[in-house]
Amino acid sequence: MGTSTFAIASERFPPATNLVWRRAAALGSLWAAFEIVVGSFLHNLRVPFTGAVLASLGVLLMCAGVRVWKDRGLVWRAALICALMKSVSPSAVILNPMIGIFVEGLLLQLGLAVLGRNWLGCAAGGAAAVSVTLVQKIVSLLIVYGLDVVRLYEGLVRYAARVTGWQGLGPEEPILWLLGVQAALGAAAGLTGWRWGGRYRPSRPAEPARERAAIAPQQRRREPPGLQPSLAWLAAVAAALPGGMYLVAVSPLVVSIPVIGLAVGCALWRYGGALRRLRRPRLWVELGAVLLLASLVLGAIEGDVWRGLHSGAQMILRAVYVVVMFSAISVELKNPRLTRRLAEGRLAAAGAALEAAFRALPDFLSMMPAVRAVLRDPEGTLATLFDRVEYWQSRSPALVLLTGARGEGKTTLCAELAKLVRDRGHPVAGILSPGSWSNGRRTAYQVQDLLSGEIRPLALRSDQPGPIRQGAFLFDPAGLEFGRAALAAGAASRPGLLIVDEVGPLELRGEGWAAELDRLHAEPCCAMLWVVRPELLEQVRQRWPGLRQAEIVRAAETSPARLAGLLLGAKTPGAVAGESA
C-alpha cells in the first residue's frame, strides 16, 4: 500500500472526524428516540400534520445542539444517523421517513452554512426543514396516485370555493397558506432551540443504574421467517417500479390489471407478512375515498361519471402497486450485505456511529419523561437529555490504526506517545513489542506491559520446530499469555489510552491476543491505538469491522503530539492546533 492510499484515507477521515461522528451518534440517537416516543403518541391520537410536528421537534433539538457543540457538519451527520436508524424499523415502509429526516437535516445544515451558526441561520434553516414535510407529502401523493390526483385536488378546491363563496380561491392558495404556517412553525422551533441551547449548562450525568441491552440492527429486523434479502431482488423490484407505473398510465385497465396483479402476487409470495400495510383498514378506506371522489369530481369535470370512475380505478391500481413495490424495496434494503457495503469507504465512520447510536437508544428511550413533565418544564427536559448526549458521546472512544513498513519506527513512536500521554496526566495500558537487531536483521521480539513496565520474551528467530510459528519466528507461549494478561488487566483498569503493538497474522488466524482483541472490539474501554502493517490493514478491518471507523495514520507521517490529539482530543492539553474539533 503506497503513500497515496494513506493520503486518501487522511482526506476521508480528517482528525476531527471521530469526535464529530461520536457526537452525531449520540444526538442522532436522541432524535430517533423523539421520533419513536413522540411519533407513536401523535400517530395513536391521529393528530394531523404529525410530520410537521416531528420535524419541528427535530429542528429544536438540532438548533440547541449546534449552539452547545460547535462541530462542523454535526446536523447532517445526526440526521443521517437518525434516518439510518429508521432503516431497521419494524415498519414495512421506511423510505419515506428516512428520506424526510435526512432532507430536513440537510436543509437545516444549509441554512446554518449560508446564514451562519446564529439565530438567523436556525430560523431560516428551521423554516425550510419543516416546510419540506408538506412538499414531501405532495411528491408522495404524485408518486402514489399519479397526475390525476392534481386534477382531483383542483376540482375539490373549485367545489369548496363555490360552496363557501370564496370565488377567488385558487388551487395554489391552500398550499401556500400551509407552507407559510409550517415555515413559521419551523422558524419558531429553530429560534427556541437556539435560545435554549445558549442557556444549557452541562452537569455530570449519572451512569445508568444498570446496563441496558443495546438495540442492534439485527435484533430489530422482522422479516418473515426464511426470507433472505437479496441484492438481485432489490434490483429487480427497483427496475419493475417505474415500468409498472408507466404501464398503468398508458394502458387500458384490461391490460394493466393482469400485469400489475401478477407483480403484486409475486411480491405477496416473496414478502408475505412484510406487507403489513396492505392489511390496514385505513389504507383501504383511503383508497375507497379516492375512488368515490374521483368518480364524482373527475366525472363532473369530464362530464362522464364512468370516465371519472375509470380514472379513480387507475389511481387505486397505481397506489396499490407503488405501496407494494416500495414496501418490497424497504425489506430488501435491510440486506446485511448491503449494510456492510454501505459501512465501508466513505461511510465507514457513519456505520460505526450507527452502532454506537443503537447502543445509546435504550437509555434515551428510558429517559423520555411523561408528556405532563415535558409541558411543565420543556427546557429542563432538554437539558437532562443533553446531559445524556454528553455521557454517550464520551462512551465512544477514539480509535487509531497506526501503520508502516518494518523498521519505520512504529514501536518507538508508541513508546513516545505513551510517555507524552502519561506526562499529561493520563494512565496508559496495553503492550509494546520492542525488537532486538543484529547485523541489520531483527532477531527477537519482547512484549512489554505498559501498565506495569514488565518485559518478557515473545519470539525468537529460529529454524527449530515449535507449536507456534510465524514466518522465521518461533513464539514463546508464555510470552503470548503474558501479553494477553497485560491487555486484559489494562482494559480492566480503564486507562486513558490503550496501545496494542501489534496486530499481525497470528491474531488474524485466532491466535496471539485475538481473544482479548475480540473483547476490546466488542466493548472499547478507552481511546485505543492498534499497530497494523500496511499489507494486513484490510484483513484486520474485515476481521474486526468496528475498526472501519478508525483513523489510519502512517508512522513516518505523524508525531506523538498529533497522535495524542487524535486519540484524546480536547482531553489532551496542548494538542496540535487545528486537530481538535
Same domain assignment for residues 417 and 453? yes
* Contact (Cβ atoms closer than 8 angstroms) between residue 151 and residue 136: no
Q: Are residues 58 and 84 located together in one domain of the fold?
A: yes
- Whether residues 423 and 278 share a domain: the answer is no
Give the residues across from 447 on adjacent strands.
Answer: 456
**Confidence label for 190 from pLDDT (cuts 50, 70 and 90):** very high
Look at residues 557, 201, 262 and name the one whose alpha carbon lies nearest to residue 410.
557
84 and 66, same structural domain? yes
Q: What is the CATH number of the domain that holds 481?
A: 3.40.50.300
Last residue of a domain, one of 289, 305, 332: 332
Does residue 183 sit in the same domain as residue 269? no
Kindly state whether residues 208 and 103 are assigned to the same domain. Answer: yes
Maximum average pLDDT range among 201-215, 266-280, 314-328: 314-328
Q: Is residue 227 part of a domain?
A: no
Find out whether 398 and 569 touch, Cβ atoms under 8 Å.
yes
CB 541 within 8 A of CB 548: yes
Cell numbers of 454, please? 514488565
Q: Which of 351, 453, 510 is nearest to 21 (CA)?
A: 351
Helices (H), 45-147: 50-68, 74-86, 95-115, 119-145
Q: Are residues 164 and 39 in the same domain?
A: yes
Task: Give the H/E segment covering residue 530.
Answer: strand 527-532
Q: Is residue 224 part of a domain?
A: no
**Residues 543 and 405 placed together within one structural domain of the fold:** yes
Is 339 a domain residue? Answer: no
Looking at the whole model, is its pTM more than 0.85? no
Q: What is the pLDDT of residues 477-501, one digit of tens each?
A: 898 999 999 999 998 888 889 999 9
To which H or E segment does residue 302 belong? helix 299-302
- In order of 176, 234, 241, 318, 513, the CA distances from 322 in angstroms are 28, 15, 7, 6, 52
Does a structural domain hold residue 420?
A: yes
Q: In degrees to the nearest 10, what's the CA dihedral of 427, 428, 429, 432? A: -160
**Is 580 inside a domain boundary?**
no
Degrees, nearest 5: CA angle 241-48-222: 50
pLDDT tens for each residue of 225-275: 455 667 777 788 888 888 888 788 778 888 888 888 888 888 877 777 656
Q: Residue type at 396?
A: S
Integer Cα distance of 15 and 36 in angstroms: 33
Total domains in the fold of the chain = 3
The bridge status of strand 455-461 relative to strand 473-475 is: antiparallel
Domain carrying residue 96: 8-217+346-394
Q: Do 437 and 471 belong to one domain?
A: yes
Alpha-carbon span 509 to 114, nearest angstrom: 51
Is 17 part of any domain?
Answer: yes
Q: Is 143 exposed, middle or buried (0-12, 13-18, 19+ CB in 10 A)?
A: middle
Q: What three-state secondary structure class fits 167?
A: coil
The residues near 269 (Cβ < 8 Å, ≥ 6 apart) are none
Residues 6+ apart with CB under 8 A from 411: 432, 433, 434, 435, 501, 502, 531
Pair (406, 548) in one structural domain: yes
Residue 581 domain flag: no
Task: List, for residues 207-232, the tens digit of each pLDDT value.
Answer: 554 444 444 444 444 444 455 667 77
CB contact at 8 A, 126 and 187: yes
Q: How many CA atoms lie within 13 A of 14 on its CB side?
A: 10
Cβ–Cβ under 8 Å, residues 327 and 274: yes
Q: Calculate Rg over the CA atoms of the chain.
A: 29
User: Are both 410 and 267 inside the same structural domain?
Assistant: no
Identify whether 341 is part of a domain. no
Give the end of a domain, one of 309, 332, 355: 332
Task: Please state, rounded to an integer, the average pLDDT across all residues of the chain.
Answer: 77
Domain boundary among 359, 374, 394: 394
Long-range Cβ contact pairs of 175-181 (< 8 A, separation 24 or more): 175/134, 175/138, 178/134, 179/131, 179/134
Residues 548 and 429 in one domain: yes
Q: What is the pLDDT of residues 412-470, one digit of tens each?
A: 999 999 999 998 888 999 999 988 877 767 778 899 999 999 999 988 887 777 677 77
